[in-house]
Amino acid sequence: MAIPQPTSITVHEASRVLEIGFDDGATFRLPFELMRVYSPSAEVMGHGPGQEVLQTGKRDVTIQEVTPIGHYAVQPRFSDGHESGIFSWEYLYYLGAHEAELWQRYEGRLAEAGASRDTPMASARAGASCGHH
């Protein structure tokens, strides 16, 4: 099955959503916070299953810039300095199509950790890079 291609991408700073329209007619309004907590970067996803790093305190994050990566992805620069996630068209479509389920999963992980969407992130600089403690 062919991956739907985007026909439009708009960054809405005031409402903090990335609006993306696809050639199959689907349009998604992806909250910046959702994109940030599900960033497809090693910093967030870890280097394998079970190594995901729970992201907190990202409710007010904004996207400062979106850089196209070839003809297959974009790389947003978030206001908290995170810019290593490369969002393929397929991944953006996945985020849009599964948004409700992803929010539910995120809120479940927060609850398990005794955290909230507004809990500040613990400093990742304290030896937590790549899981070496």
The pLDDT tens digits of the residues spanning 68-99 come to: 999 999 999 999 999 999 999 999 999 999 99
More confident call, 1 vs 65: 65
Q: Is the pLDDT of residue 65 over 50?
A: yes
Residue 124 has pLDDT above 50, yes or no: no
Number of folded domains that form the chain? 1
What distance in Å separates the CA atoms of residue 95 and residue 34, rounded to the nearest whole number? 8
In a domain, 48, yes or no: yes
Give domain status of residue 120, yes or no. Answer: no
131 lies in some domain: no
> Domain span at residue 92?
6-115
Q: State residue 123's pLDDT score.
A: 57
Q: Give percent helix, percent strand, percent coil of the chain, each to the nearest 5.
A: 25, 25, 50
In a domain, 12, yes or no: yes
3-state secondary structure of 130: helix
* Mean pLDDT across 95-110: 97
In a domain? residue 122:
no
pLDDT at 88: 97
Backbone angles phi, psi at 80, to 5 degrees: -90, 10
Is-contact 64 78, C-beta < 8 A? Answer: yes
Query: Is residue 108 assigned to a domain?
Result: yes
Residue 1, burial from CB neighbour count under 10 angstroms (0-12, 13-18, 19+) = exposed
Answer whether residue 79 is part of any domain. yes
- 93: closest CA among 16, 9, 27, 13? 27
- Cα distance between residue 7 and residue 83, in whole Å: 23
Grade residue 49 by pLDDT with cuts at 50, 70 and 90.
Answer: confident
Residue 121's pLDDT is what? Answer: 84
What CATH number does residue 23 fall under? 3.30.2020.30
